[in-house]
Amino acid sequence: MEDGGLGTESSEARLEYNSTQSRTAPEFRVYKRRWFILLVLCVLNCSNSMLWLTFAPVADQTAEHLHVTLDQVNWLSVVYMVVAIPLSFITTWMLDTLGLRPTMILGSWLNMAGSVVRVLGVLSYVPESTMFPVVMAGQTLCSLAQPLVIFSPTKLAALWFPEHQRTTANMIASMSNPLGLLFVNIFSPMILSRTNNLFMLLLIYAIPAIVICFLATVGIQKSVPPTPPSASADTSSSEPFLQGIKLDFAGLCGALFIVSGVIGAAFLGLFVDKTKLFTESIKITMCLTSLSCTAFAVVSQLEEQKVIIGAVCALFGLFGFASYPVAMELSVECSYPVGEATSAGLVFISGQIQSIVYTMLLPALTTKLTHSPRSVCAAGDDANLSWMVPVLVMAGLCCLASCSFVVIFHTQYRRLNAEADAVKTHSAQPEIEGMTNSSTDA
């Protein structure tokens, strides 16, 4: 049961773990405003991911407009990974010490400021030699916001949502990030092909950032609800602790990857919320992800097999993205009572470090092909590259990681166990008081 609105707390119904609890047992409540905060975080996460990979689907056109090379364009996305690693430690401290509200508001302002600077960098009166540095400066500001918004879902779920909704809330907030990647893969090629104007592209992506900055600043009033939604929230602590493929088809594959991933994450999040089978779900999805990655490594070498390639990309996303929100919740479960931001932050830092390594390593493993009249790739030094070896290496790494995780990883659900112990303690308290009163009367 929930409260009747954002501002009325008198009509808020109570969620209790046991209907027979005495008056001394804590009372847990949920508030409808949690859905507004979740919406703000979702849009903020989506906006930040759109700003991150704005240029990836249109790298050739971006290089032409900014008068730079493709390697320099790649740095517009790599800067996110580089900046995120040191900033992640600060973000975990902010979430656990200052709270959710200042972290989200700061993230929204950095996100908005970066998007505006990017637009200013491509105005007609800006010298060509200055365009790329200004856009990079804006991209760096946006990258500062990424840890602030990506670390927040686990904290929001733990502080505002009851035990039976935590994984679902985390899934919704986390999957808004790949949803932004979906929009980028669809709209960046579409906008640039129709307008041939980089200014219009960046302006369109800046609008959501500006709107959500206003909503976050005005709408989020508190970091925590007046009363906790669960026992763990009540006792929450912060203890330390492709060859020749057109860009349109590549964008379609990316869209299939993300859409199927969001669907898979939705179903798996609901399933885990009901069953609490965190470890089993992650191990199964990781194995299926490895199989999908291996299948992609094979079918990506086939000619004129777009349907098969698209289907494999969909399966890859279905299993790969589905594990992300559950893995973030599992990191909190196995590290409790360490703060949610700390556990999620360490997972994120690990992912960012690996992303930098793979972004630099895999292109270095490509080999040049002889010119083919059927090729639709751009001309120049970056044209006609074979990605067979990088894709096979990626499949091998994925299989190795999955096998290692299945064999090595075993854990207890510390947060769920702590909540169960808290319920037992409060339920047993009336019996102890009754026995004490009886002995006194005797």
How far is the C-alpha of 442 from the C-alpha of 440, rounded, in Å?
Answer: 5
Q: Which long-range contacts (CB under 8 A, 24 or more apart) does 119-123 make?
A: 119/199, 119/202, 119/203, 119/206, 122/65, 122/66, 122/198, 122/199, 122/202, 123/199
Confidence of residue 314 (pLDDT cuts 50, 70, 90): confident
End-to-end CA distance of the chain: 43
Q: Copy the structure tokens of residue 76.
A: 């517009």
> Mind spelling out the 3-state secondary structure of 208-240?
HHHHHHHHHHHHCCCCCCCCCCCHHHHCCCCEC
Which residues on neighbouring strands pair with residue 386, listed in sequence order? Answer: 367
Look at residue 413 in the predicted model and tell me its pLDDT: 81
Q: Copy the structure tokens of residue 36.
A: 């507004």
3-state secondary structure of 164: coil
3-state secondary structure of 174: helix
- Condensed to tens digits (0 to 9), the pLDDT of residues 34-57 reads 899 999 999 999 999 999 989 988
How far is the C-alpha of 27 from the C-alpha of 68, rounded, in Å?
Answer: 60
Helix H or strand E encompassing 200: helix 198-219
Q: Which residue has the higher pLDDT, 202 or 255?
A: 202
Which residues on neighbouring strands pair with residue 15, listed in sequence order? Answer: 28
Look at residue 211 in the predicted model and tell me its pLDDT: 95
Q: Which residue has the higher pLDDT, 41 or 150?
A: 41
Kindly tell me if the per-residue pLDDT of 353 is higher than 80.
no
How far is the C-alpha of 201 from the C-alpha of 62, rounded, in Å?
Answer: 11
Q: What's the mean pLDDT when you consider all of the chain?
A: 78
Question: What mean pLDDT comes out for the span 408-423?
Answer: 80
Kindly tell me if the per-residue pLDDT of 23 is higher than 70.
no
Kindly tell me if the per-residue pLDDT of 7 is higher than 60.
no
- Condensed to tens digits (0 to 9), the pLDDT of residues 81-91 reads 788 777 877 88
Kindly tell me if the per-residue pLDDT of 119 is higher than 80.
yes
Nearest to 14 by CA among 1, 31, 32, 33: 1
Stretch among 36-40, 348-352, 430-434 having the lowest mean pLDDT: 430-434
DSSP state of 23: T
Task: Provide the 10 A C-beta neighbour count for residue 116.
Answer: 18
Domain-wise residue ranges, the chain: 31-183+196-234, 242-337+365-417
Fold assignment, 31-183+196-234: Growth Hormone; Chain: A; (1.20.1250)
Look at residue 186 in the predicted model and tell me its pLDDT: 84
Do residues 342 and 89 lie in contact, with contact meaning Cβ atoms separated by under 8 Å?
no
Kindly tell me if the per-residue pLDDT of 156 is higher than 50.
yes
Q: Which of 193-197, 245-249, 330-334 has the highest mean pLDDT?
A: 193-197
Look at residue 38 in the predicted model and tell me its pLDDT: 92
How far is the C-alpha of 262 from the C-alpha of 364, rounded, in Å?
Answer: 31
Residues making up the chain, counted from first to last = 442
Look at residue 31 in the predicted model and tell me its pLDDT: 81
Kindly tell me if the per-residue pLDDT of 141 is higher than 70.
yes
Look at residue 246 in the predicted model and tell me its pLDDT: 55
Question: What mean pLDDT comes out for the span 259-284?
Answer: 83
Look at residue 421 in the predicted model and tell me its pLDDT: 78
Kindly tell me if the per-residue pLDDT of 80 is higher than 80.
yes
Kindly tell me if the per-residue pLDDT of 233 is higher than 60.
no
Helix H or strand E encompassing 28: strand 28-29
